[in-house]
Chains A and B, each alone.
Chain A
Amino acid sequence: MSDKLKLATVWLDGCSGCHMSFLDIDERILDVAALADLVYSPLVDNKHFPEMVDITLVEGAVSSEDDYHKIRHVRQHTRILVSLGDCAVTANVPAMRNRFKVEAVLDRAYFENATLNQQIPVEVVPQLRKQSIPVHQVVPVDVFVPGCPPSADNIFYALTELLAGRTPELRTRTHFGA
């Protein structure tokens, strides 16, 4: 067993832009890899969230039943949970549907705007919850990294600070919509 810290990333209701921005740290990923193993992520092949992870970055709002159960499971198995990006921090664009009923949203997507095969999927696609909400409204979150997406520099800064055992001071480095 490696004595490196365990790092995970999860992707809820977001556009994956935050993960892309994470990849934008480019060669600095080697610095991260020197301190931590990426044990679970959409970017790696592991299918099961490990028993205990030191740091989990979460992208996206909590919008579906799947998101809800996933984030609760992740929280139970994570020491430090990081809300990465505006969707996780504020629910951002996914929350723009909150002013409408779920049925109206599904109608618009699968009937009004669909030309072929008009039907609301009931299998495989998880059920939408009434509202899209920020992660910290569902489970406690330890660190917030706002931005849409947060810059690679800020992600790298937050990660390396956490890996070094310090609390990153992000408040004046980034803001909603940055």
Chain B
Amino acid sequence: MRTSFFLAPFLSLLGLISARSSTGDKVLVVLEPSVQKDDYSKFWKSLKDRGFELTFKEPKDKDAELVKYGELNYDHLIMYAPGAKSFSPSLSPKSILNAQFSGLNTLYFLSPDLTESNRELLREYDIEFIEPSLTLLDAFNHPPESSISTVLLPPTSSIPDSNGEIISASTSSGGPIVYSSGTVHTTGQNPFLVDILHATKSSYIGKDKASKGEDNDNASKSKEPILNGKKATLVSALQSRDNVRIGFVGTGQLIKDDWWGTEVATKEGKSIKTGNADFISDFSKWIFQETGVVKIIDSTHYRKGETEPRELYTKKDEITYSLTLAKHYTTSNGTSAWGPFEVDDLQLDFTMLDPHVRTALTQDKSTSAEIGTNYKAKFIAPDRHGVFKFVVGYWRTGWSYIQSSTTASVVPLRHDEYPRFITGAWPYYIGACSTSVTFLIFCALWVSLGETDKDRKGKKKAE
């Protein structure tokens, strides 16, 4: 996100005009031909209401260029082409990955009929899908009039606990999420992946007999490992080192008008409002950099009694490190703004290969930053000479990764900075001085005594 960090002032100006996203408002939507755009009109409308400019393309459209002259043509991408076998060169998996490296946030909508090329692309993120045409089924939680492939997911048991940045607390306790004929994936060891939505305990994977109308003993004989509960991930997200966000939704049906803000009958016969609209709104806000975005406004360091950063610190100097962080938020009239970001677990490392000092960065309420929240840490420079770094690394799920590294050196005292007199040596100083002073007094007395004693000396000599 280095480029967008430098572009931040410019982009925030853009943001003031319309979009609430902290990075930009241009969205490319790639729909495969079999997907009817009008079936999802409520989702497109909600995005437009949030200030995004949507451009619709097909996977084979040659003019859908993600990057032009080295600059991103679009800020965000919605990729709803799970069944596409071939893509135009500019929308090929490789060019999408390259665009993501330069900051393209992507939201993938998938389906059980994933093509092999799409599967290979998704393996790049360490996501593995179940076999084609298998879906998530639940014989217990589905609307009575629908087949068992339309799974009702109660958010309380299928959204993992989190800090509420990706999926808000109201959504996590809201209506059931309708997950219709969707695929299931497992997230690998990639530490940048986050599970957003997983299956319930009663759901399983298989072929939907009712909808396909065919016998499928093959599915039960399949060697696919059985996934259910938390292991069966339906929606997951990835935030790269550069804070580029990529979302994976197991079915495009999730945003269908049929489930968007409508009511659904449960097996108890009650009618409940679905949580799809809330869920996908929260998720797309996070993916498109509207929520959970934190940036570094300013970071500086200085010696006690000074205000400017130094290149060289002397050992045992009292150093203050100051960091200002701001969180992106959307104002009530729909503009982009930066506000305070308050956490209590920030740490500062003062490192030379190893952290020599690791201390808490505490909120400094005495200085009010123009925007954001100011954090400060005070520490004594270690008695160790070399090139050090002030390192702040704050990696929390749901927030942008905060990374800051500033270099400064710690040097020994210069030859004229040592104390002139050492307290412990005063007896020696006094000893030497008193000897000299007494010597002078002795000389004076010797001379004066010599004159008075002259007679006696003379007598002695005469004898």
Q: Do A and B truly interact? A: no
